[in-house]
Amino acid sequence: MLTADTVHDGALLQVHDFRSYFDTPAGIVKAVDGVSFTLDRGDTLGIVGESGSGKTVLARSVMGLLTGKNVMRSGSARYNGIELVGASEKELRDLWGTEMAMVFQDPMTSLNPVLKTGRQITEGLRYHLQLSKSEARAQALQLLDSVGIPDPKRRISQYPHELSGGMRQRVTIAIALACGPKLLLADEPTTALDVTVQAQILDLLHQQQVERHMAMVLVTHDLGVVAGRTNHIAVMYAGQIVEYAPTTDLFANVRMPYTQALLHSIPKLAQPSHTRLQAIAGRPPDLINPPSGCRFAPRCPYVQPKCNSEMPPLQESETPGHLYRCWFPVGTEAGREALAHNTAAGMPAAVSITQILADPPGGTH
Amino acid sequence: MTDLVSPPDGIATNPPPASPASDKKIKTAKKTGALGIGGWIASIWLITLTAAAVFAPWLPLDDPAKTDFSVPKNNSSPFTAGHLLGTDNNGYDILARIVWGGRVSLVVAAGVLIIGMLVGGTIGLLAGFFRGKSETLLMASVDVFLAFPALILLIAIVAFLGADLLNVVLGISLVSIPAFARISRATTLTYAQREFVLAARAAGASQKRILVREILPNVILPLLAFGLLVVGIAIVAEGSLAFLGLTSTETISWGGMINGGKKPLQQDNIAHTAMIPAVTMFLTVLAVNVLGDRFRAAFDVKDSML
């Protein structure tokens, strides 16, 4: 067994130039293509992107859960110094559950329909921690209580279909937390839930994270979800990280046009009613043959000839730790010129962005 | 729920008041539970039959192998003195032979259910979970048996191995294995793709643990429901073999009794010797099918509520 506690090099999870490709009959799908990030103990990283940007694949393949014969992983993902890429299923299994755990998107399908909730929680406790039946039950009751389930004594002997969606997600969180992982990967934990329950679940995750001094990767398509609850945000597009920054800095100084477009596509309370949402026109690129230049270029309001031919590197802005992947970043002279040029040429995306920037709906942004 | 504020006129409030008819329906459904009235009758019939078969040696029955020639024509009709269901042309007490014949049906049903489900279910579970080469190999070997017509294969097996009860059970089990394997594989395939399996892996469960603890409980329910249908088929199959005279004549079985009643029916127009075992078999198979159906419906609820 790999002993995780012997190695301490600061960061808990170090992902470097990580790639996850799928070999399909149509070609090789580059679902995750050269992603690097570092997650410190107790910190939260938000991974944001639209559907198909590779965020779920990133979370699952970093953990090593994708084991199909057509999955190709390369690069490096080190958990507490242990290399996860290339580790055997058996070595990974020693980490799963006890060191790292995952909360899934849909609590309707991530719980076993024919097993009582109690049994699903005690399963891991008895297996990993070798607790006796009664000890595991006591622990499960305590866990259910800590994730805010009222009357745990009754709930523990109920089946998943007897619980509401929010309660089921609380149960999956309890299962994930059962063996005290140091890293929690939450894969769109609130997407399948009612809006009123979303905030509760996010608060619960945050509270548990603080109590347990646990690091968390929060995968979501909603910038609003990660805004107040993360230390860093990585914006993903077409399998790459296009912007990576401390949360406050990202919202204050957006550099990447894609992030800007994402921000403008969220409705704001200050906007007058019936304001049209700024959708991002077009679709994410084909990941089998991605564009050779910047992958966002076909949809970007700032696009210039250079963008279509050369892929921009991930470069650091004047704020340390703020990385972005753009030739004509937002908020710089080059970016302003590019946008003005496109607006003058009558490019619809550029025109609408220019309008919003000139006359921010409902005040400043 | 009570409305604190009464809605203005002309605005429909929902839900509409429940009609007395639907109320009644809910009540009966609650009273009889998932089984329904048919299910209850079926279970009572099966329980009575099973109890009688199990306790046959201790019941106040005539010796099924003892002939009673005191009755006229050896073919006395039901409700004659001393013989509730009458006697057959050999002077045997029909009630006693029905009960003892039930023992054979019970053994066949239980044996086929256990062997078929264990072997077929395991094959399907492994094939559906591990996929790849093992799946091709397992399912191909099972499919070979599907290529033969079941009854012909069964007759061949019994003819080849000999006609005692054990071989009959083995033969019918062998014929039922492909169906069990296919159902088990199909169910395993759907459940193996579910997210809770991935969640269990992410929690560090081994392949074996996932198979036994996560997938098996989901597969066993449809398999059991199908098993009840197979029980009906097995009883009929044993009856067919006995009717065709392919089982040991020493064994008292319903199929054999129907066969024995053939002659009185055709030559002397006496129906009860053939009809009583036939009706018993019919009712038993019907009861098993009704129960199987009810169980399937009851288990489906859980899935549909998800």
**Domains in chain A, ordered, with CATH?**
14-235 (3.40.50.300), 255-314+327-358 (no CATH)
Q: Which of B133, B187, B190, B196 to mutate to test the interface with A (most CBs of A within 10 A)?
A: B196
B67 vs B54: CA distance, rounded Å: 23
The H-assigned helical ranges of chain A are 55-63, 89-95, 117-128, 133-146, 152-155, 165-177, 195-212, 223-227, 247-252, 257-264, 305-309, 333-344, 348-358
CA distances from A128 to A93, A216, B256 (A): 10, 21, 58
Is the CB of B302 less than 8 angstroms away from the CB of A113? yes
Q: Categorize the per-residue pLDDT at A58 as very low, low, confident or very high, splitting at 50, 70 and 90.
A: very high
> In angstroms, what separates the C-alpha of B95 from chain A's closest C-alpha?
43
Mean pLDDT of A42-60: 91
Give A-chain residues touching B218 at CB under 8 angstroms.
Answer: 112-114
Provide the pLDDT for residue A216.
Answer: 94
B194:A109 CB<8 A: yes
Q: For A285, which DSSP code?
A: P
Closest-CA residue of B relative to A96 is: B204
**Which residue type, as a one-letter code, is found at position A268?**
K
Burial class of residue B132, CB neighbours in 10 A (0-12, 13-18, 19+): exposed
Q: CB distance A159–B302 less than 8 Å?
A: yes
Q: What is the pLDDT of residue A217?
A: 94
Residue B214 touches partner A, C-beta closer than 8 Å = yes
Looking at residue A364, what is its pLDDT? 47
Mean pLDDT over B56-67 rounds to 77
Contact A92/B206 with Cβ under 8 angstroms? Answer: no
Nearest to B217 among A111, A115, A179 (CB): A115
A23-35 pLDDT, tens digit per residue, is 999 999 999 999 9
Q: What does the DSSP 8-state code read for residue A150? A: S
pLDDT above 90 coverage of chain A, percent: 52
- Whether B295 has a pLDDT exceeding 90, the answer reads no
Say whether pLDDT at B273 is over 90. Answer: no
Q: Is it the case that residue B86 has pLDDT exceeding 80?
A: no
CB contact under 8 A, A104 and B198: yes
A97 touches chain B (CB under 8 A): yes
More confident site: B204 or A244:
A244
Contact across the interface for A102 and B213, Cβ inside 8 Å: no
Contacts with B187 from chain A: Cβ below 8 Å: none
Please tell me if residue A98 touches chain B, with a CB cutoff of 8 Å: yes
pLDDT of residue A362: 52
Which residues touch B25 (CB under 8 Å, ≥6 apart)? none
Say which residues have a Cβ less than 8 Å from residue B18's Cβ, sequence separation at least 6.
Answer: none
First-to-last alpha carbon distance for chain A, in angstroms, is 51
Pairwise CA distance, residues A300 & A285, whole Å: 12
Place of tokens 């910038």: A223
**Residues B195, B34: Cα–Cα separation, whole Å:** 29
- Say which CATH topology domain B64-304 has: MetI-like fold (1.10.3720)
Check if A127 contacts B (Cβ < 8 Å). Answer: yes
- Chain B contact for A186, CB < 8 A? no
Closest approach of chain B CAs to the CA of A76, in angstroms?
20
A134: distance to nearest CA of chain B, Å?
19
- From A322, A285, A325, select the one nearest A302 (Cα to Cα): A325
Q: Nearest-CA residue of chain A relative to B199?
A: A110
pLDDT (0 to 100) of residue B114:
94
Instruction: Give pLDDT, residue A103.
Output: 92
Instruction: Give pLDDT tens digits for A187-211.
Output: 999 888 888 888 888 999 999 999 9
Which residues of chain B make contact with A175, given a CB cutoff of 8 A? 199, 203
Mean pLDDT, residues A306-311 taken together: 91
Q: pLDDT (tens digit, 9 = 90+) per residue, A206-242?
A: 999 999 899 999 999 888 888 888 999 999 999 999 9
Decide if B203 touches A, using CB distance below 8 A.
yes
Give residue A360's pLDDT band: very low, low, confident or very high (50, 70, 90).
Answer: low
Kindly state whether B306 is in contact with chain A, defined as any CB-CB distance less than 8 angstroms. Answer: yes
> What sign results for the dihedral spanned by CA atoms B80, B83, B85, B86?
negative
Select the more confidently predicted residue: A247 or B270.
Answer: A247
**CA B237/CA B150 separation, integer angstroms:** 9
Q: How far apart are the first and last CA of chain B?
A: 25
What's the one-letter identity of residue A227?
Answer: A
Chain B nearest CA to A345, separation (Å) = 49
For residue B6, pLDDT over 70 is answered with no
> Which pLDDT score, from 0 to 100, does residue B30 have?
46
pLDDT attached to residue B8 = 46
Model pLDDT, residue B110: 92
Q: Decide if pLDDT at B27 tops 70.
A: no
Residue B73 has a pLDDT of: 57
Q: A93 CB near a chain B CB, below 8 Å?
A: yes
Torsion sign (Cα): B278, B279, B284, B285: positive
The mean per-residue pLDDT over the stretch A244-272 comes to 88
Averaged confidence pLDDT in chain A: 88
Strands (E), A25-70: 27-40, 44-48
pLDDT at A73 over 60: yes
